[in-house]
A and B are shown apart, each in its own frame.
Chain A
Amino acid sequence: MTWLRVLVLICAVLLMAPAFAVGPDEILPNPALESRARDISAGLRCLVCQNQSIDDSDADLARDLRILVRERLLAGDSDEAVRQFLVDRYGEYVLLAPRLGAHTMLLWAAGPLLLLVGVGGLWLAARRHKRQQQGEMTDEEAEALDSLRQPSSER
């Protein structure tokens, strides 16, 4: 994470024009619309930054996008329509949470799949364990038994 700071900051710093995360001049007078704008912004990527949403970013482009989002909302677009508008312009790269589709199937399924694999592995291991349990003792157990039988040899 040392370099997180470097990354995020170099990005912020290099691209810094006198613009910071949401500015007072951008805020919409209608609080309901503004709150929707903030929610949408938090899920949109600042395209020229490392890994920041346009809501957090200081870059000029982020400011332009924030204003664009608010313009679309004022024009009466739904949240999804605003997102679609930006995806049409900039590609899916602009969405911080990728859409569910053929190309992201593995990504979204990875967590549950891994968990299933883990549970399956545990089940197999437990079954093998049970079989072992009915069999004879392991080397370690034999060793332990030996050492118990001859306590003097250990000391």
Chain B
Amino acid sequence: MAIELGHFALILAFAIATVSAIGGLAFRPAGERLALVLSQGAVLQFVLVAVAFAALIQAFVSSDFSLALAANNSHSLKPLLFKISGVWGNHEGSMVLWILILVLFGALVAAFGRGLPPDLLALVLATQSLLAAAFGGFTLFTSNPFARLVPAPLQGGDLNPVLQDVGLAIHPPLLYAGYVGFSICFSFAVAALISGRIDQAWARWVRPWTMLSWTFLTLGIAMGSYWAYYELGWGGWWFWDPVENASFMPWLAGTALLHSALVMEKRNALKVWTIFLSIITFSLSLLGTFLVRSGILTSVHTFASDPTRGLVILTLLALVIGGAFALFALRASTLRQGGLFAPVSREGALILNNLFLATAVGAVLVGTLYPLVLDALGGTTISVGAPFFNLTFGALMAPLLLILPFGPLLAWKRADIVGAAQRLLGAGALAIFLTILIASLGGRSISLAPLGLLLGFWVAFGAVAELIDRGRLGRIPLRESVRRLVGLPRSAWSTAVAHFGIGVSVLGIVATSAWQTELVTTLNPGESAELSGYTIAFNTFQEVPGPNYRAEQGSFTVTAPGGGTRPLTAERRIYGASGMPTTEAAISTYGFSQLYLQLGEPLDTTHVVRIWHKPYITLIWLGALLMAGAGVLSLSDRRQRIGAPRAAAKMVPEPGQ
């Protein structure tokens, strides 16, 4: 019964979305009443999809295997958390989650958007409803999550063991919140193109939504990367896999959008480009979610093995993305550019940022799709893997990182580059000094490592230098400096923290790539091995039962170089229902570095043990956390709180730096 209610709720939401989309786009210009109806419709869509989603969760939690989805992806012995996360560990369920987040964002716009002009609000909500109708229809007609099984099996087929992890509970919702959040930017862009009106108030509206989505996406990608790192069992954290690239491209485009929306909000320039980026960012998000499921990217491992479903997805993508770009091509010329500035200025620096980020998006996109296209054209099949991306992406990021610290120190309109360079002198000198010191101490090093270190330090110290400069630290009494720093707008802190985070991530990437050490050996209980000064003793080996798996468990004791011991436990698991094995690596964190230990397969009478020492690897994710934290900080800035229409209406020139 609950399942049918859920099914009905989803159908109803689809119907409301369809009516909202048609109504909002047909009756223009919309008045207060239509905007109100569409707002109510948006909230209603959210409530209905939430009911549908709750029905699915209920079926999974109560192990109702008459629901085909639960029978295929759940198991009565699975821990509760994994029963719930199993709802979105498959194609159909993840579609419902995707739509839930989509309509949630629509409802948020309806809730916060009272101050928007009714015509703009109606257009945004209509576009948002159009998306909900399109993807809701796709779910209902080609991948119905509410299909029943008769007769119901007694036990479910279990979820892929690899997905039975807290990672699945956190990673997809975060990632989807990021992807789908960009739909708001998309809807605003489409609304601006249709109405032909776009001003700074528009940018003031779009930027917080971009910031929110970007923050979620940053967390989602970082979380996914850490999940892959600890679960896959060999300590890799980024693979340039097509699916990873698909999540990385919207992030890059979203980062560019954040910066271009800033120029538009403050200086009323880059309008057309910002609109273009809004469309591109969400289009890449759609590619990220759906290209993988269409069956053209990865033929073996996709959810959507049904070729008709793949065709529907591709058609849908072509219509949404193509339609938006057609609209852009038709209407963009009606938007007037404004806000003049000299090449050397904050605007100029932000344009350079956009140039490199957009090029990086393009390069990653070409790298990801090139093998497909070449294959389709009847050419040879080639692989485009990590070596290609590292080179191309690295070459584009290096100049970006080099100019990054200058940006926040430049004034709007016309800036003094020599002055900015002077203020960065200390940061640069310190970065060079530390790099030379580490490179000379580090001994064996990869040729590019010093360059990477230099860039990482430069960006991190540059961010600090900006704060020091703004607080006039050392030039005025300390107490006065502190007062100034505390009084800085949160957005200034946010910029510094985010840029510092990038530097930290770069340092982590460089350090762990250049100085990681590895030991592959065979050990018996009672024996020990040594790596980078750590002594790892293999104590015992035993078989232990888990809730829905059997585990072979190895207990180790690690003695750190500075003394002190820690117990570590690594496992190999065999899951009962599927017979699939997984490895649970043992990870121990020392400062920012980690010791990563994996219990391998038995070899003759001994056990293969792989141990990695990964210096400063946690910096990679700490940097990402700093970036996400900076996003939150910026969102908490009262000056750009979501839906602060009064601030938008004022025409107060920004104070110069």
Are B298 and A50 closer than 8 Å at their CB atoms? yes
Distance A92 CA – B227 CA, assembled complex (angstroms): 32
Per-residue CB contact flags for chain A residues 88-106 toward chain B (1 = under 8 Å, else 0) read 0001111111100001101
Are B355 and A10 closer than 8 Å at their CB atoms? no
Which A residues, 1 to 24, have Cβ-Cβ distances below 8 Å to chain B?
A: 1-13, 16, 18-24
How many residues of chain A are within 8 Å of chain B by beta carbon? 61
Which B residues, 375 to 397, have Cβ-Cβ distances below 8 Å to chain A?
A: 379-388, 391-392, 395-396
Distance A24 CA – B651 CA, assembled complex (angstroms): 70
Minimal Cβ-Cβ distance residue in A for B396: A111
Also in contact, A96 and B387, with CB within 8 A (given A5-B227, A51-B242): yes
Choose from A23, A51, A52 the contact partner of B600 (Cβ within 8 Å): A23
Distance A4 CA – B598 CA, assembled complex (angstroms): 21
Stretch from B24-32, B69-77, B361-369, B530-538 that touches the partner: B361-369
Choose from A3, A9, A122, A138 the contact partner of B351 (Cβ within 8 Å): A122
Distance A126 CA – B383 CA, assembled complex (angstroms): 39
Q: Please give, as numbers and ranges, the residues of chain B lying within 8 Å of A147 by CB-CB distance.
A: 651
How many residues of chain B are within 8 Å of chain A by beta carbon? 81
Q: Please give, as numbers and ranges, the residues of chain A lying within 8 Å of B367 by CB-CB distance.
A: 107, 110
Choose from A45, A133, A139 the contact partner of B383 (Cβ within 8 Å): A45
Minimal Cβ-Cβ distance residue in B for A151: B651
Are A6 and B380 closer than 8 Å at their CB atoms? no
Minimal Cβ-Cβ distance residue in B for A13: B580
Also in contact, A114 and B362, with CB within 8 A (given A23-B603, A51-B242): yes
- Decide yes or no whether A76 CB sits under 8 A from chain B: no
Distance A122 CA – B532 CA, assembled complex (angstroms): 50
Are B601 and A19 closer than 8 Å at their CB atoms? yes
Distance A41 CA – B362 CA, assembled complex (angstroms): 28
Are B520 and A12 closer than 8 Å at their CB atoms? no
Distance A9 CA – B228 CA, assembled complex (angstroms): 9
Also in contact, A96 and B520, with CB within 8 A (given A2-B175, A50-B241, A133-B340): no
- Decide yes or no whether B521 CB sits under 8 A from chain A: yes
Also in contact, A5 and B521, with CB within 8 A (given A20-B608, A96-B383, A111-B363): no
Minimal beta-carbon separation of A62 from chain B (angstroms): 12
Choose from A19, A92, A111, A126 the contact partner of B392 (Cβ within 8 Å): A111
Minimal Cβ-Cβ distance residue in A for B227: A5
Choose from B162, B175, B225 the contact partner of A6 (Cβ within 8 Å): B162
Also in contact, A98 and B651, with CB within 8 A (given A1-B224, A5-B167, A103-B379): no
Q: Please give, as numbers and ranges, the residues of chain A lying within 8 Å of B221 by CB-CB distance.
A: 1
- Decide yes or no whether B239 CB sits under 8 A from chain A: yes
Distance A24 CA – B94 CA, assembled complex (angstroms): 41
Per-residue CB contact flags for chain B residues 258-293 toward chain A (1 = under 8 Å, else 0) read 000000000010000000000000000000000010
Also in contact, A13 and B384, with CB within 8 A (given A1-B247, A50-B241): no
- Decide yes or no whether A119 CB sits under 8 A from chain B: yes
Q: Please give, as numbers and ranges, the residues of chain B lying within 8 Å of A96 by CB-CB distance.
A: 383-388
A10-B301, A13-B161 known; 8 new pairs, CB 8 Å cut-off, are A2-B172, A5-B232, A9-B582, A22-B520, A94-B383, A98-B388, A104-B370, A129-B340
Q: What are 27 A-B pairs at a CB distance below 8 A?
A: A1-B246, A1-B247, A2-B243, A3-B303, A4-B241, A5-B163, A5-B231, A6-B162, A7-B298, A9-B160, A9-B231, A13-B161, A20-B608, A21-B234, A23-B600, A42-B386, A51-B385, A94-B383, A96-B383, A98-B382, A103-B374, A110-B367, A111-B363, A118-B359, A119-B355, A122-B351, A141-B338
